[in-house]
Homo-oligomer: A and B are copies of this chain.
Amino acid sequence: MVEVTTARRSKSWIASLRGIVQAVNPFLFRFMTVAKNESWVGEQAVPAEARVPKIDLLDASEDAYGGVIVDMKEPMNSDLFASALRASTTKWREQGKKGVWIKLPIELVNLVEVAVTEGFRYHHAEPSYLMLVKWIPTTANTLPANASHRVGIGAFVTNSKGEVLVVQENSGKFKGTGVWKLPTGVVDEGEDICTAAMREAREETGIETEFLEVLAFRQSHNSFFGKSDLFFVCMLKPTSFDIQKQDSEIAAVKWMPLEEYAAQPFIQKNEQFNYIAKACLEKKKGNYTGFSAVPTTSGFSHKQNYLYFNKKVLSGTNTCENSHTGKL
């Protein structure tokens, strides 16, 4: 009934994030010298058991899942790293440790091959570092998964005349097609969806906005490097009206009657764009309720995040736009 990989999959988001956050943030490691004297001890003076060379061990902090994290910061000779990693792994195995993480800054690229030779696999990489991991026990591997999605937004900005803010792109799929489309873009790492929508509208068109609702979202797969994609259609209210086109990517910007936007052959033929246009038209008529962005905290930390839901029936909630502008 339950598969072997279930342990990783069904870990609750709370449980799975808790330990990692605790564990990865305080990367406060250093190379710890256990033995003061690394040389062979003279045979004449000491008993046989002391003739084994003392090996430096890698310092590591414990994570909340019974694993350890090694955050290499200082340059090291790869042979020295190899012997230290071998000795440390023996110790961690004896201690019953589970996952062993090694974070290698790109400057320490000379240590990557050693780690792989010692049985480590890549977990994830960012431009400046590579994270490797090894699962020590014989039990099922419960290492957390890598990031799996990229997130994008489309900005649906309508004015009081029932017009929608549209652009023509001068690169990509739509270049030269004459199609008028919503401003779109990628949500930056660490950026809120509602904030990204306001930023993209401003960057592409010069129009300032307030976030109102997520009208729809779409999940697709294998969109880049085998990863998935979530795209959120965000309804925004303009607070400025002076169009300032972005030159590098945008060929034209204008306000267009929503019905005219929806009637474009491209929209009509594209099932998914057509649904989105219908939702926008229903929204204009007042027949549609999307998800508002309400700032909340989780109870596990004091960091604010946004919950997006249909708040039509709930009162007294702040939203993304008045949270940002300070109007509460």
Q: Chain A: residues with CB nearer than 8 A to chain B?
A: 1-3, 6-18, 20-21, 24, 106, 109-110, 112-113, 116-117, 121-131, 144-152, 154, 169, 171-174, 181, 183-190, 192-193, 199-200, 203-204, 206, 215-231, 244, 246-249, 266, 269-273, 275-276, 278-279, 282, 287-291, 294, 296-300, 303, 305-310, 312-314, 317
What are 5 A-B contacts with C-beta separation under 8 Å? Answer: A9-B199, A13-B229, A146-B147, A148-B151, A189-B226
Nearest B residue (CB) for A200: B10
Q: How far is the CA of A255 from the CA of B189 in the complex (A)?
A: 39
Contact, CB under 8 Å: B152 / A150: no
Report how far A106 CA is from B199 CA in the complex, Å.
Answer: 39
Copies in the complex: 2
Q: How far is the CA of A174 from the CA of B266 in the complex (A)?
A: 50
Closest to A153 in B: B13
Q: Which residues of B contact A117 (CB under 8 A)?
A: 109
A188 to B227, CA, bound (A): 11
The answer on a CB contact under 8 Å between B106 and A121 is: yes
Determine whether the beta carbon of A151 is less than 8 Å from that of B150: no
Residues of the B chain whose Cβ atoms lie less than 8 Å from the Cβ of A124: 124-126, 225
Q: Does the CB pair A219–B206 fall under 8 Å?
A: no
| B residues less than 8 Å from A248 (CB atoms) | 2, 6-7
A9 to B112 alpha-carbon distance, docked (Å): 31
Contact B147 A150 (CB under 8 A): yes
User: Is the beta-carbon distance between A183 and B272 smaller than 8 angstroms?
Assistant: no
Chain B: minimal CB distance from A13 (Å): 4
- For residue A252, give the distance in angstroms from its CB to the closest CB of chain B: 15
Is B10 a contact partner of A204 (Cβ separation < 8 A)?
yes
Q: Which of B24, B227, B317 contacts A224 (CB 8 A)?
A: B24
What is the distance, in angstroms, from A309's C-beta to the closest C-beta of chain B? Answer: 4
| A15 & B169 in contact (Cβ 8 Å cutoff) | yes
A124 to B: closest C-beta gap in Å: 5
From A231, which residue of chain B is reached at the shortest CB distance?
A: B13
- When the two chains form their complex, are residues A2 and B174 in contact, meaning their CB atoms are under 8 A apart? no
